[in-house]
Structure 1
């Protein structure tokens, strides 16, 4: 089952994104920062990557136990902690429409949801997959992590919008 906060945060993202015009969505508040559109693309890339890794983990016959220490993954919400995105999850700096981004994000959520709903609930609670920073998370915790990650980036998008509003 997808964590309820993950579902709510995605709706909050749509409410926020639909309040913006396309130019603002694609404008840099600072040269070295992502645009709101890039943040949305990053969320798509992230959800697709997590879904692909989860699919592999579910298909493993005898998954090896993790040797990583576990760190509270709720620290994702701490915007004072910054970890650069892996290169594969860095969005291109190109103009995107909300329709394009929404289509991608709706598709990534459908794929993620289909996978999670196909997994035995016992496996969701007992099988783990390592997070590069937080260590082993159960597959069920991953459904919560995606929402926390998106919540973090929703705050980032609000900060970008606030910075842009100073210039307009």
Structure 2
């Protein structure tokens, strides 16, 4: 995996953890309104997306089809928060409350699983040659699935900052 992607994964995750570390569990689980997610749910969603991404890439690597798929400007699509993207049920968060440290553990576990999984791919160039259908982005090369992890996290960090403002959390 190239260093830029690795650095972006690391830096984005550090920023996410900084945003949530000092929250009380009550703040963490407060919803801005009943139709919106709490910060805890946003974070749980990020864990589920990371785990689903590992499965999607693993599945994509087994595919025989190697036709070059069109690369997308995933950064432009994902970071545009004016366009709502409905989360598929499989990556929808639990409604049960979470503790901050519990979510940080889940985030650490999912990232460790991702990095371990990626380290098992001997020929990284194959990631640009194979693709799998992404629920929001359509057919997406596997290397862009990795890229969308940190971009998706950046999108949700902005959402977390907005929720904190709404909840009047001063950090």
* Structure 1 length-normalised TM: 0.89
Aligned length: 164
What value does the CA root-mean-square deviation take over the aligned residues? Answer: 1.9
1:135 corresponds to: 138
1:72 corresponds to: 73
Whole-Å separation in 1 of the counterparts to 2:139 and 2:85: 18
Per-residue CA deviations over 1:63-108 (Å, capped at 9, x if unaligned) read 36488x6542111001101011011111121110112111211111
List 4+ stretches of structure 1 deviating above 6 A: none
For the 8 Å contact 1:9–1:151, the answer to whether it is kept is yes
Is 1:124 matched up with 2:116?
no
1:57 corresponds to: 60
* Structure 2 length-normalised TM: 0.87
1:83 corresponds to: 85
Whole-Å separation in 1 of the counterparts to 2:111 and 2:62: 20
Name structure 2 gaps, 5 residues minimum.
none
Name structure 1 gaps, 5 residues minimum.
none
For the 8 Å contact 1:70–1:135, the answer to whether it is kept is no
Whole-Å separation in 2 of the counterparts to 1:11 and 1:141: 21
Whole-Å separation in 2 of the counterparts to 1:118 and 1:94: 34
Is 1:97 matched up with 2:90?
no
Structure 1, 128-137 or 28-37: larger mean CA deviation: 128-137
1:164 corresponds to: 167
Whole-Å separation in 1 of the counterparts to 2:26 and 2:165: 14
